[in-house]
Amino acid sequence: MIDGYSWILIAAAMIGANPDHGDLVERAAGQQATNSFAIAIDGSPGVKVVAACLVDWGEEVDVVTLKGEVPQTRKVDAVGISCQIKKLGNAGKLVVEITKNGHLVSRNASSGSSSVISISLQ
């Protein structure tokens, strides 16, 4: 039969074997774990965009804006992000890709006039 001390050793071994055990420790301490987000805005040559992103740092939220021609890329380590990206004008295609911790989690494309793409991730 396994006593209480053995269960503690088994749990410690399982957490130690997990390469993401730091996230478990942060959550256990009552803090929110951060993720690495990358926002890539691309499209037809000459396409202009304006974007606003709410970046959730856990304790605070900031607004980050982007404006200009594609391509544009921003990286941020945060708890979550919520963005609206608007293509200015009628011509061209807009493509928005979001990666979370190095993995593509969202890809949106639009060629409509004055298209708006909204994305929210945690």
Mean pLDDT for the stretch of residues 77-88: 93
Residue with tokens 């919520």: 82
Instruction: Record the pTM.
Output: 0.69
**25 and 6, same structural domain?**
yes
* Host domain of residue 22: 1-32
DSSP E strand boundaries for the chain: 35-43, 48-56, 61-69, 72-78, 80-88, 94-100, 103-110, 116-121
**105 and 56, same structural domain?**
yes
What is the strand order of the sheet 61-69 is part of? 61-69, 48-56, 80-88, 116-121
Mean pLDDT for the stretch of residues 71-78: 93
Q: 104-118: per-residue pLDDT in tens?
A: 999 999 987 778 889
**85 and 51, same structural domain?**
yes
Structural domains in the chain (count): 2
Q: 6-23: per-residue pLDDT in tens?
A: 434 344 444 444 444 444
For the stretch 59-68, contacts whose Cβ atoms lie closer than 8 Å and that sit 24 or more positions apart, written own/partner, are 66/41
Alpha helices by DSSP H, listed for 21-107, are 21-28
